[in-house]
């Protein structure tokens, strides 16, 4: 059986390895295109609702505060590099921390979310304008100076379609920021089916720098730069992937941090996972820093622009 690549259309795709979902225990295949290197989850469930646990992104106050500050610092870096103000669209804006920071820098902003429920915090607490629905819900004549796809593109069933739509919504010279896990990272290569950031089936598409560049170019966008620094996702990716390889319940550390009721921090497994994590976090951080310096980090943040 051959499944066409969603990025380059090639029929030369093949099963690579399997990976279990930590929510349901179901196993999914990781397929790869031999022409462009794009990876994809197969089969792709018709609806992903049951694969999102209630505790998804349910962090405690300290972890949430840290994530929030890192995201805001990142957003400040993006807009300051542009050196002007304008209009920004954040696709999959979540709680809206990136958008509130961009708004604070003098920009006009709008977010896009999948459901009314997932848009509630950004709308009601952050007072952000958030459109609920697919990207097609955006007016065709809307034009943006900055579009953000932060940890969002990998969740979408048709990433090529999304990027092409972004290309149309950008003003000439406008920027697109895409942050996704890096399938070509040391971490992904080492952990394979045990990799924390594979996160099947919630992640449907898995990019390498080469396949993302190809996708951006097909969408009429020009690759500008890539950055691999991710304090919040990279070291924890090494630790949890190592625990997965050692036979702990899948993604144990992340699930403890996110309050998965099936994995209590006080249980025998929970205590063992936390003790090992405490030992591993320093070498994991050093390894992460080394991988950023060699451009093989677990998360890549790519900037592209629409040519004038
Ligand atoms: Zn391909």
Residue 132 lies in a domain: no
Rounded to the nearest whole angstrom, what is the distance from the C-alpha of residue 4 to the centroid of ligand 1? 8
Rounded to the nearest whole angstrom, what is the distance from the C-alpha of residue 9 to the centroid of ligand 1? 6
Rounded to the nearest whole angstrom, what is the distance from the C-alpha of residue 40 to the centroid of ligand 1? 10
Among 248, 241, 279, 275, which Cα is nearest to 262's?
248
Residue 152 lies in a domain: no
Residue 266 lies in a domain: yes
Segments of the chain scoring below 50 in pLDDT:
none
Give me the domain span that covers residue 240: 236-289
Residue 302 lies in a domain: no
pTM of the complete model beyond 0.85: yes
Question: Who contacts 115 (Cβ-Cβ below 8 Å, separation ≥6)?
Answer: 132
pLDDT for res 62: 79
Spell out which residues have Cβ within 5 A of ligand 1, the ion: 5, 7-8, 10, 33, 35-36, 38
Residue 67 lies in a domain: no
Domain count of the chain? 1
Rounded to the nearest whole angstrom, what is the distance from the C-alpha of residue 201 to the centroid of ligand 1? 19
Rounded to the nearest whole angstrom, what is the distance from the C-alpha of residue 214 to the centroid of ligand 1? 9
Residue 269 lies in a domain: yes
Residue 277 lies in a domain: yes
Among 48, 27, 46, 36, which Cα is nearest to 9's?
36
Rounded to the nearest whole angstrom, what is the distance from the C-alpha of residue 8 to the centroid of ligand 1? 4
Contact yes or no for 149/303 (Cβ under 8 A): no
Among 30, 40, 29, 48, which Cα is nearest to 4's?
40
Residue 39 lies in a domain: no
User: What is the Cα–Cα distance from 172 to 187, expressed in whole angstroms?
Assistant: 36
pLDDT for res 249: 95
Summarised one tens digit per residue, pLDDT across range 237-268 is: 999 999 999 999 999 999 998 888 899 999 99
Looking at residue 203, the DSSP 8-state letter turns out to be -
């Amino acid at each position: 059986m051959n499944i066409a690549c969603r990025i380059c259309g090639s029929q030369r795709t093949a099963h690579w390895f399997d990976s279990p979902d930590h929510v349901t225990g179901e196993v999914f295949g990781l397929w790869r295109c031999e022409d462009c290197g794009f990876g994809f989850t197969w089969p792709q469930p018709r609806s992903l609702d049951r694969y999102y646990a209630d505790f998804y992104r349910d962090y405690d106050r300290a972890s949430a505060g840290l994530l929030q500050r890192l995201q805001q610092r990142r957003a400040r870096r993006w807009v300051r590099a542009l050196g002007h103000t304008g209009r920004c669209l954040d696709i999959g804006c979540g709680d809206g921390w990136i958008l509130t920071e961009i708004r604070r820098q003098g920009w006009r902003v709008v977010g896009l979310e999948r459901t009314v429920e997932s848009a509630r915090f950004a709308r009601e607490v952050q007072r952000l304008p958030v459109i609920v629905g697919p990207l097609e819900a955006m007016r065709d004549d809307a034009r943006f100076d900055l579009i953000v796809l932060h940890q969002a593109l990998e969740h979408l069933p048709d990433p090529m379609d999304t990027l092409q739509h972004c290309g149309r919504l950008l003003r000439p010279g406008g920027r697109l920021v895409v942050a996704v896990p890096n399938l070509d990272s040391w971490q992904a290569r080492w952990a394979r089916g045990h990799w924390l950031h594979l996160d099947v089936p919630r992640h449907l598409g898995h990019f390498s720098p080469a396949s993302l560049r190809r996708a951006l170019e097909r969408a009429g966008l020009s690759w500008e730069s890539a950055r691999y620094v991710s304090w919040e996702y990279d070291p924890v990716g090494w630790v949890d992937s190592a625990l997965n390889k050692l036979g702990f319940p899948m993604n144990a550390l992340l699930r403890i941090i996110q309050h998965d009721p099936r994995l209590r921090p006080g249980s025998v497994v929970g205590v063992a996972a936390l003790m090992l994590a405490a030992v591993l976090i320093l070498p994991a951080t050093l390894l992460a820093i080394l991988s950023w310096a060699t451009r093989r980090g677990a998360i890549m943040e790519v900037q592209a622009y629409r040519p004038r």
